[in-house]
Amino acid sequence: MDELIKRAGRDLASSKNVVALTGAGISVESGIPPFRGKGGIWEKIDPMEFAHIDTFMKEPGKVWNVLLKDMKEIIDKAKPNDAHKGLAELEKLGILKAVITQNVDGLHQKAGNRDVIEFHGNFAWQRCLECNKVCETREIDLTQIPPRCECGGIYRPECVFFGEMIPPHHLIRSRDLASTCDIMLVVGTSALVQPAAYMPVMAKQSGAKIIEINPEKTPMTKSVSDYIIMGQAGRIISAIVKEIKQQL
C-alpha cells in the first residue's frame, strides 16, 4: 500500500491534466451511505421502484417518503471529509483539472473544488413540476409530503432519476475531459452505472493512466485500471497529497 501511494504521488506530481471520477464511496466517510454493498441504500429499497422517474411521476409522495426525505436529512448534515479536501488541494496545486462526480451531495464544491461536473445533478436544488421555479432544498417545507411550490405544483430534486437522460452538456464535457486527460483518478465508485462507468474506459482508450481508489475490486479493476489502491478514500488521498507535497 505505501509503495502504491508513493507511485500515485509520483504519477500525479508529473501530470498537469488529471481528472477525477468519483462515486458514493468518497462520501461514505462524511456519513452518507453508498447505494450498493454493505449498508447500501439499494439493499433496503429497490431503485427501479423508488428511484425511477416513472414512479416519481405516478407516486411522488411515495418517493419523497421512502427516499428523498431521508436523503435531505443526511445530506444536510454532511461535511466534506479528507478525500474531498485532498482533491481540492490537488486542484490548488494545479494538478487536478476537474472532478466528474456521480454524487448529488455538493461536497466537492464545499471542499473547494471549482470545476465539478455533476453527472447526476445536485440535490441542493428543487424544481416545481408545474411552473419550473427552482428553489433551494433547504428552503422547502417538508411538513407536507410531497412538498409543493406556492403555485401548488410538486417539487422534484434537480437530480437524474433512473429512466432519465444525463444532461447533454455534462455528458459532452465529461467525454471531452476523459478523452484528453493523462491520468484519471477513479474514487469510490462501483463502476456499474452507465454512462459514468464508461468515462475511465474512454480515458484508457485515449492513452490515460487509470488509478483506482476503492476498498473493493470493481468490474474495471482488472481490465481498465493500471493499479488500484485498496482502502478508504480519506486516508489514501491525504497520504497521496502529502507525498506530492514532499516532491514539489
Residues binding ligand OAD: number (CB under 6 A): 29
Torsion of CA 87, 91, 96, 98, to 10 degrees: 90
Site map 161..200 versus ligand OAD, x via CB under 6 A: -x-------------------------xxx-xx-------
**Shortest gap between Cβ of 152 and ligand OAD (angstroms)?**
27
Applying CB under 6 A, the span of 69-77, 88-96, 140-148, 212-220 interacting with ligand OAD comes to 212-220
Which of 6, 7, 37, 227 is in the footprint of ligand OAD by CB under 6 A?
A: 37
Residue whose beta carbon is closest to ligand OAD: 25
Reported as half-sphere exposure (CB side, CA atoms, 13 A), residue 4 has a value of: 12
- Eight-class DSSP state of 64: I
Q: What backbone phi and psi angles, to 5 degrees, belong to 244?
A: -65, -45
* Measured distance CA(183)–CA(97) in Å, rounded: 10
Residue 170 falls in the annotated catalytic set? no
**Shortest gap between Cβ of 97 and ligand OAD (angstroms)?**
21
* Measured distance CA(88)–CA(111) in Å, rounded: 6
CB nearer to ligand OAD: give 40 or 153: 40
* CB atoms closer than 10 angstroms to residue 131: 11
Contacts of 126 (CB under 8 A, 6+ apart): 134, 135, 136, 137, 140, 147, 155, 156, 157, 158
CB nearer to ligand OAD: give 149 or 233: 233
Which of 23, 60, 80, 147 is in the footprint of ligand OAD by CB under 6 A?
A: 23
**Shortest gap between Cβ of 131 and ligand OAD (angstroms)?**
25
Which of 8, 75, 199, 233 is in the footprint of ligand OAD by CB under 6 A?
A: 233
Catalogue the active-site residues.
Answer: 120
